[in-house]
Amino acid sequence: MKLDEFKKMIKQILEQSADESVALQMDVIVGNLVREGINKHRARELAEHFIKYTRPQPAAQWVGLTDEEIRGIGNALPAEHQFHSKAFARAIEAKLREKNGGKA
């Protein structure tokens, strides 16, 4: 089996079993690979790899700073670099949010 055919087969299996549990998807993929002549242990490794790297990963959730955290950061800075403006910290958060797709 050529690599392109193998990738196509795995993609089809994952699309067909999108609503099935990961364990069932693993069994289906491993079964197909073993039928193609791949050692069952290697087939399991390949199936784990494809499931891990072909499924959408959950997006990280934005977590902003609390007022207390802003105060603590500002107070921890040397005197010449201290700031006491929550507005400044919120402006930095807004810029970070903008650079990260506007998700908050």
| Whether residue 47 is found in the same domain as residue 75 | no
Instruction: Check residue 20 and give its pLDDT.
Output: 63
pLDDT in tens, 16-58: 655 567 777 788 888 988 998 999 999 999 888 888 777 666 6
In a domain, 47, yes or no: yes
In a domain, 16, yes or no: yes
| Whether residue 37 is found in the same domain as residue 72 | no
Displacement of CA 34 from its chain's centroid (Å) = 29
| Whether residue 40 is found in the same domain as residue 79 | no
**Residue 42 burial (CB count, 10 A):** 12
- Whole-number Å distance between alpha carbons of 22 and 51: 8
In a domain, 62, yes or no: no
In a domain, 23, yes or no: yes
| Whether residue 25 is found in the same domain as residue 50 | yes
Residue 14 has pLDDT above 70, yes or no: no
Domain that holds residue 48: 3-54
- Whole-number Å distance between alpha carbons of 90 and 104: 12
Torsion of CA 8, 30, 19, 48, to 10 degrees: -90
Q: Give the sign of the dihedral formed by CA 41, CA 42, CA 47, CA 52.
A: positive
How many domains does the structure of the chain reveal?
2
In a domain, 61, yes or no: no
| Whether residue 12 is found in the same domain as residue 41 | yes
Name the percent of the chain in helix, strand, coil, to the closest 5: 65, 0, 35
Instruction: Check residue 42 and give its pLDDT.
Output: 92
